[in-house]
Amino acid sequence: MRNLTRRDLTVQISGLAGAAALASLGLPGRALAQGATPVEGKDYNKLAKPVATDSPGKIEVIEFFWYSCPHCNDLEPTLEPWVARLPPDVRFRRIPVTFDALKTTHAQIYYTWEALGLVDQMHVKTFNRFWIQHKAINREADMLDFAKESGLDVAKVKAAWDSFGVQTRLRQANQLMTDYQIDHMPQLAVQGRFTTIVWPFPVTDYLIDKVRKGG
């Protein structure tokens, strides 16, 4: 699959149309047929043991992602408008995957931005650095170079990168991956009970409504 830039993906693809379009780009899974009701075991999985959520009074939706994943990069331009349309009773959050040492380093990028309150400013820029600039961030020196290029306080970025809080968040992410039985990315999880199989928003919308109705 060719590497697509965000400019290539500025077409408006969301809902059922988005699922079909993303599937046509070679993303994993299949699109839900128009008008079809999602089926457990085919379109989504139900966890045998529910996972505690971190969003009291809200329906929690989690995206498990990896900055170096081409499918995560391709999803991002359609994910952002979908998240913007979520109703007030839904809370969306991201969890970077930590399958191995390299992915853990990439997860550390996200939690560094989170610790500094810079996710909104730097999350998409980080994807762009990997996929448009083709400059990976595989070690601390790469991260500090990126911070300098972005006009950030390099000392503050280094302090956050090395912080106990970021290390704690990495351990928590690893545990959540285990609890949700995540084995690929990107993958969406709903309310500690469900994970999507097919791609991805119609099923997620269905699961949100299912939870809301007590299903």
Mean pLDDT in residue range 57-79:
95
3-state SS class at 210: helix
- C-alpha torsion sign, points 180, 186, 191, 196: negative
Query: How far is Cα 146 from Cα 105, in angstroms, rounded to an integer?
Result: 14
Query: How far is Cα 63 from Cα 69, in angstroms, rounded to an integer?
Result: 13
Residue 172 has what pLDDT? 97
Residue 34 class from Cβ within 10 Å (0-12 exposed, 13-18 middle, 19+ buried)?
Answer: exposed
Q: Which domain holds residue 184?
A: 45-52+61-212
Mean pLDDT in residue range 191-203:
88
Residue 183 has what pLDDT? 86
What does the pLDDT look like over 13-22, one tens digit per residue? 333 334 444 4
Query: How far is Cα 148 from Cα 155, in angstroms, rounded to an integer?
Result: 10
- Mean pLDDT (the chain) is 86
Residue 214 has what pLDDT? 87
Mean pLDDT in residue range 25-45:
72
Higher pLDDT, 15 or 59: 59
Residue 82 has what pLDDT? 95
Q: How many CA atoms lie within 13 A of 177 on its CB side?
A: 23
Cβ-contact 195, 62 below 8 angstroms: no
CATH number at residue 87: 3.40.30.10
Q: Is residue 32 part of a domain?
A: no
Q: Is residue 36 part of a domain?
A: no
Residue 23 has what pLDDT? 41
Q: Is residue 28 part of a domain?
A: no
Look up residue 113 and give its two tokens: 């931005």
Q: pTM for the complete prediction?
A: 0.83
Q: Is residue 81 part of a domain?
A: yes
Evaluate if residue 39 carries a pLDDT over 80: yes
User: Which stretch of 28-32, 133-137, 147-151, 185-189 has the lowest confidence by average pLDDT?
Assistant: 28-32
Evaluate if residue 44 carries a pLDDT over 50: yes
What percent of the chain stands above pLDDT 90?
A: 75
Residue 12 has what pLDDT? 32
What does the pLDDT look like over 89-125, one tens digit per residue? 999 999 999 999 999 999 999 999 999 999 999 999 9
Mean pLDDT in residue range 67-84:
94
**Domain count of the fold of the chain:** 1
Q: Is residue 147 part of a domain?
A: yes
Mean pLDDT in residue range 187-197:
95
Query: How far is Cα 67 from Cα 130, in angstroms, rounded to an integer?
Result: 7
